[in-house]
Amino acid sequence: MKRFLRFRFSRPRAAVLSAWACAMVLNAFAAGSNPPPAPVSFRNDVLPIFSKAGCNSGGCHGALAGKGGFRLSLFGYNPEADHFAITRESQGRRIEPADPGLSLLLTKSTTTVAHKGGKRIEVGSPDYQTLARWIAEGAPGSKADEPTLVDLEVEPAVRIVSMGESLPMTVRARYSDGRIRDVTPWCRFTSTDETVASVTPQGRATILGPGQGAVTAWFSSRIVIARLTSPYSNTISSDVFRALPSTNFIDARVNEQLVRLNLQPSPAASDAVFIRRAFLDTLGLLPTPAEVRAFESDSRADKHARLADALLARPEFVDYWAYKWSDLLLVNGAQLRPNSVKAYYSWIRSRVADNTPWDQLVRELVTARGSSVDEGASNFYSVHQDPESMAENVSQAFLSLSINCARCHNHPLEKWTNDQYYQFANLFSRVRAKGWGGDARSGDGKRTLFVQNAGDLIQPRTGKPQPPAPLDAPAIDPSDSRDRREILAKWLTSPKNPYFARSIANRVWANFMGSGVVEPVDDLRTSNPAVNEPLMAALASHVVENHFDLRALMRVILTSHTYRRSAEVLPGNREDRRHYSRFFPRRLSAEVLSDAIAEVTGVPDRFTELALSDGSTEATSAFTNVVRSLQLSDASVKSYFLKTFGRNQREITCECERSNQPSLVQALHLANGSTLNDKLASDSGRLAKLLRERTDPASWIEEVWMLCLSRRPNEKERAAALAAFAGAPASERSHVAEDVAWSLLTSREFLFQH
């Protein structure tokens, strides 16, 4: 009675008395002939109810400070702490084993007693009865020998659907004792693309539009996906699909998807468009007019393959891909000393030049040690200096997995737990460094990386270290004195690693195709499925089969008919944004655009960093050499143009650091900024020189079109340009030329890859 008097009910007493139904249920079980149900499991039965109801979400009691003096771990990542909070905190007032219906845990969640979080559970519902039974059983905690969740499966797992169709999802959990249980009522459902399908909290999916969609179901920190394909309502002759050309496995997988979705592929791009596209995606350069004409006149059937081989062998390839990997590995003078930047970039560049297999490059990087000046790869650990940062960036850079959320709690969108996070981070706990080698800017920058034989990272939640282990891999003996990073590197680069090959294959694919098979390109979590899983799997398999030779992957992309498709929009693929029925235009990156403008105008940019003959760089205030943007090793080199057009700042390991989105500031800079106008007005520039050499305006016009757009002008463009020259006196020809060139360099055709 004393416990009862603590409550001040906001509902009539009759509403409270309805809770006594739980006792009737228990009595019925005791008196009946059927065997009593199995005891309620706190981990397997109670916590899923809280998660489904949102009680342990970040906006409720799962918040860092909890709510109303009651705090639960986010989505149940810490069952022991949750059990203590429910059964022991506040003198155990939240449960009443002698009279479960009067427990605050039930009266609050049903709003029998005022609850700011609103009603979460209905009185008498199955969830209510489960909680009441658990309380009546004495509210036991999790047992060491109780069954654990092994796997989830969803039905349907794969289904071709039609617009307007509605279908229920069924999720089953398999436990370590072999028991299979329908856990659909306790799953949290989400749709990965609301334009294709929506899903109710109960798991009923409704098809809203065409495309490749997926429904994810989350239960007890595990995720399972149902893939739903809704074909487009296009009228396309079967002959179109039968006639689709196919060079390699890429075409086969993409074409199969187009057939499933009923998407019409666009025709092949012209030779002029293709060579421009291939040059920009492989080298970051525009082709010269002579190279365009040579490719157009080449009648050999294998000319696309020959072009791919030529591009992959050019020295500019090293500039472009060394720059890209420097983005990924954060080569940045804001975080490293000048000599360290030089050593780090030189190491990356040498590996690209030698076509070092990606797995070997990553192994060298992850296990690096020694001087930051003499051993360039060791600077990876100068950028990331604590075990947690090392773990997070290795995972993000080489697995495309963001495990940061698991640093404080179980990952809310992925399967990674707080324990797994600290197991992974503990692999780096013995990495140490000493010395900076003098003054911050004038010193030699030498920082020596070494590995101790002992030491562990303490997990804040438990106050103890977790056994070191790679993600989803067996733990290492904590007493083992070997460099734990060696074991990590072996697991990381293993062909059996489900993420490593997929991660780099997706990054390379996105470079050439404009979007990853998985988007964002560095987000391979299970709840973010590939838009074409067979293609993603095939790309990863190709990487493994070719021993992580990335040039081999680039060649197969360059020679595919998928890559060769034009950007022409057809009625049968107008709505496609992800399935590669056509080429998707995108704005050139800041560095590529800067170099393209400099190349066309013949006026190079001036930076405070110069490329040396051996491929390395040094900082200087004197200009004795010409440096392209893609030859800069240091992202901290100041450039208004590169900053305005979204250069990667290399501050965190994330593709979100780079922006290719157009903006008003960019438009104004192209219209009135010094970058373009000063170069066009230069008397020593290429366009002025060309105008002096070619007195015939028609000849000048054709050459400028070839320089800027890699094609000849069409009749309308030619007539307009000739008319501009015809109406101007000789003294104004240079101004007319500037205006014509400006119109080309600010056109979408020049600014965008297409």
Q: What is the pLDDT of residue 413?
A: 63
In the sheet with 204-207, reading across from the earlier edge strand, the strands are 166-168, 204-207, 197-199
What are 268's strand-pairing partners? 565
Nearest-angstrom CA–CA distance, 258 and 241: 8
Strands 158-160 and 222-230, bridge-based pairing = parallel
φ, ψ (nearest 5 deg) of residue 211: 135, -175
- Spatial neighbors of 643 by CB under 8 A, at least 6 apart, are 590
Q: What is the pLDDT of residue 206?
A: 97
- Summarised one tens digit per residue, pLDDT across range 150-176 is 999 999 999 999 999 999 999 999 999
The stretch 479-503 carries a mean pLDDT of: 93
- Summarised one tens digit per residue, pLDDT across range 60-83 is 887 777 888 888 877 777 888 889
**Residue ranges of the alpha helices (H) in 329-464?**
338-353, 358-366, 380-383, 387-399, 418-425
- 485 and 367 Cβ atoms separated by less than 8 Å: yes
Return the CA Rg of the chain: 31
Mean per-residue pLDDT over the chain, rounded:
88
Structure tokens of 193?
Answer: 């693309």
- 417 and 461 Cβ atoms separated by less than 8 Å: no
pLDDT band at residue 280 using 50, 70 and 90 as cut-offs: very high
- Indicate the CATH number for domain 149-230: 2.60.40.1080
Q: What is the pLDDT of residue 659?
A: 82
Distances (CA, A) of 90 to 72, 119, 281, 431: 14, 22, 63, 43
pLDDT band at residue 12 using 50, 70 and 90 as cut-offs: very low
Q: What string of H, E and C letters represents the secondary structure of 637-697?
A: CCCHHHHHCCCCCCCCCCHHHCCCCCCHHHHHHHHHCHHHHHHHHCCCCHHHHHHHHCCCH
Provide the residue type at 451 as one letter.
Answer: V
- 633 and 319 Cβ atoms separated by less than 8 Å: no
Strands 586-587 and 752-753, bridge-based pairing = antiparallel
Q: What is the pLDDT of residue 46?
A: 92
State whether residue 562 is helix, strand or coil.
Answer: helix
Nearest-angstrom CA–CA distance, 134 and 657: 49
Task: Inform me whether the pLDDT recorded for 8 exceeds 70.
Answer: no
Distances (CA, A) of 743 to 680, 709, 738, 740, 751: 11, 12, 9, 5, 11
The stretch 395-424 carries a mean pLDDT of: 82
Task: Inform me whether the pLDDT recorded for 261 exceeds 90.
Answer: yes
Structure tokens of 465?
Answer: 């270290």
The stretch 568-574 carries a mean pLDDT of: 95
- 144 and 41 Cβ atoms separated by less than 8 Å: no
What are 205's strand-pairing partners? 167, 199
Among 67-71, 73-77, 263-267, 491-495, the range scoring the smallest mean pLDDT is: 73-77
Nearest CA among 185, 194, 193, 195 for reference residue 217: 185
Q: What is the pLDDT of residue 76?
A: 79
Kindly list the domain boundaries of the chain, sorted by start residue: 2-136, 149-230, 239-313+498-587, 357-492, 662-754
The angle subtended at Cα 480 by Cα 478 and Cα 485, nearest 5°, is 90
Structure tokens of 740?
Answer: 């014509």
Strands 222-230 and 149-155, bridge-based pairing = unpaired
- Its pTM surpasses 0.85: yes
Nearest CA among 318, 317, 324, 327 for reference residue 280: 317
Q: What is the pLDDT of residue 525?
A: 87
**What would the DSSP string read from start to end of 157-218?**
SEEE--TT-EEE-EEEEEETTS-EEE-GGG-EEEES-TTTEEE-TTSEEEE-SSEEEEEEEE
* Residue in the structure block whose two tokens are 């051996």: 614
* Residue in the structure block whose two tokens are 């209510």: 128
- 51 and 76 Cβ atoms separated by less than 8 Å: yes
Task: Inform me whether the pLDDT recorded for 663 exceeds 60.
Answer: yes
Task: Inform me whether the pLDDT recorded for 203 exceeds 90.
Answer: yes
Task: Inform me whether the pLDDT recorded for 612 exceeds 50.
Answer: no
pLDDT band at residue 34 using 50, 70 and 90 as cut-offs: low
- Summarised one tens digit per residue, pLDDT across range 517-559 is 999 999 998 889 999 999 999 999 999 999 999 999 999 999 9
- Summarised one tens digit per residue, pLDDT across range 350-368 is 999 999 999 999 999 999 9
Indicate the length of the chain as a whole number.
754
